[in-house]
Amino acid sequence: MNVGPKLKTASARRWRVAAVAGLAVITAPLWAQSSRIFRDGNTWVEETTGTVPAGREFRAATDMGSLQVQGGAPQVTYVVRKRSTADTEEAARKQFEQLRITASKVGDAVVLEGRTIGRSLNRLAADFVVQIPHLTPVVKAETRGGALSLNSIQGTIMAFTAGGAVRLNDLDGAVTVKSGGGAMEAGSVNSDLSLESGGGAIVVERVAGKLIVKTGGGKVHIGTSGPATIETGAGNVEVNKCAGDLTATSGGGNLNFGDIGGSLKAETGGGSVRVGSAQGFVKIITGGGSVELWKVGQGAYVETGGGAITAQFVGGRNQFRESYLHTTLGNIVVYLPRDLGVDVHASTELASGSGINSAFKGIAISSEGGQYGPKSMFGEGQLNGGGPILRLRTTVGQIDIRQGQ
């Protein structure tokens, strides 16, 4: 009698059962979890606490409520507080059942989840407070709409919230966080940082690595950072210090930059722009605001639809590059080093005041018209033997070329 196929089938069945049993052992709880319900003022509270052995990765996701992850514990510990405004404890218990808390160890990853199973959640709130080892290599966190906080973590962080506020501090690894629309704050990050919000304000105090910031419409404030790219749909942008190249755009806000260690590219739909210093080349475009550039090392390209331009160039003969400053309506004031070699081409189509003034004798000034109509003025010349071209143009305004210190 041929029993080979039956034996093979039975063997395969036993193998599958053993495999499933083995998986169950791997993912089964290896820790203690406890819950208690108590009254806190006008609310009922269910507090769930638990402990899980640490892994190389920590993941947390909740359908509702805030999530706080703090580094510093020897293993993963968590406290979840559900809050209900129900009138009775029985009614509160029914609401608490709508948010189920699970914790598991899958391979070398600790997974904490809060999943909703009902729709009657109007009177229910929750917050998750988790402590993990500071050296956890990978941390992933997600909330559907609650606030998100991550602190004192060394590993790589990837986080998302559908709309809650985000707070970060004392992070050593690369950090990537996205929010559907909440405000974002970051204290100290010792690596690269990427923040994206659908519309909230973003504040960053210190980033040692590369910084990327995008928001649909909130203001942006940066303390210090490495090379940075900043984009906002409408808000103001302020950067105190950038150690590398900086690119910043706003749909219409003001741009205020302190010390820029590299080049600068900035554009706004209608705000003013100010730069404290820039070692590299500066390119500024604004739809209608004034522009102030101080201590610029390599030259600049500036175009504004209607505002005054002030530019101070401090680079030497071998640093200065061809530059262009243009405003439709406004005065232009330029400060040049006394020994800078440059070819100057200045023009004002509808001159106001004295038209064109120069502290350098090498610039010849001429004019057209003016007796019975608008007067145009031109300034041409080579300074210190000439060099890169400096073009200065205003449609309506005055141009002053002054000697810097």
Q: What is the pLDDT of residue 247?
A: 98
- The mean of the pLDDT values for the chain is 91
State the pLDDT at residue 22. 33
Residue 30: its pLDDT value, please?
44
Q: Tokens 């904490």 appear where?
A: 112
Query: Does the structure show a pLDDT above 60 at 12?
Result: no
In a domain, 348, yes or no: no
d(CA 316, CA 301): 18
Kindly state whether residue 248 falls inside one of the protein's structural domains: no
pLDDT at 121: 76
Lowest mean pLDDT among 119-133, 148-162, 254-268: 119-133
Residue 110 lies inside a defined structural domain of this protein: yes
Say what the pLDDT of residue 54 is: 96
User: Is residue 220 in a domain?
Assistant: no
Residue predicted with more confidence, 376 or 6: 376
pLDDT of amino acid 373: 65
Q: Per-residue pLDDT tens for 74-96?
A: 999 999 999 999 999 999 999 99
Distance (Å, whole) CA 13 – CA 19: 10
d(CA 40, CA 334): 66
Residue 240 lies in a domain: no
Residues 6+ apart with CB under 8 A from 196: 177, 178, 179, 212, 213, 214, 215
Residue 165's pLDDT band, with cuts at 50, 70 and 90, is very high
Where are the strands (E) in 252-374, listed by range? 255-260, 264-268, 273-278, 282-286, 291-296, 300-304, 309-313, 323-329, 332-336, 342-358, 363-369
pLDDT greater than 90 at residue 309: yes
Name the nearest CA neighbour of 255 among 214, 212, 284, 223.
Answer: 284
Tell me the residue type at 21: A
Domain count, the chain: 1
Q: Is 299 left (phi over 0), alpha (psi -120 to 50) or beta?
A: left
Cβ contacts of residue 275 below 8 Å, gap of 6+? 257, 260, 264, 282, 284, 292, 293, 294, 296
pLDDT in tens, 290-305: 999 999 999 999 999 9
Query: What's the pLDDT tens digit per position in 27-59?
Result: 334 467 899 999 999 999 999 999 999 999 999
What is the arithmetic mean of pLDDT over 128-154? 97
Gyration radius of the chain over CA positions: 31
Q: How much is the pLDDT for 31?
A: 61
pLDDT in tens, 14-29: 333 333 333 333 333 4
Residue 237 has pLDDT above 90, yes or no: yes
Per residue in 310-339, pLDDT (tens digit) is 999 998 888 999 999 999 999 999 999 999
Please say whether the beta carbons of 101 and 61 come within 8 A.
no
**Is 7's pLDDT higher than 70?**
no
Q: Is 333 helix (H, G, I), strand (E, B) or coil?
A: strand
In a domain, 99, yes or no: yes
Query: Dihedral sign, CA of 213, 218, 224, 227?
Result: positive
**Nearest-angstrom CA–CA distance, 396 and 330:** 6
Could you tell me if residue 78 is inside a domain? yes
- In this predicted structure, what is the pLDDT of residue 49? 97
**374 residue type, one letter:** P
Domain range for residue 139?
A: 31-144
Residue 136: partners with Cβ closer than 8 Å, 6 or more residues away? 54, 55, 56, 57, 58, 71, 153, 154, 155
Decide the pairing of beta strands 300-304 and 138-143: unpaired
pTM of the model: 0.88
Q: Is residue 96 part of a domain?
A: yes
Residue 187 has pLDDT above 70, yes or no: yes
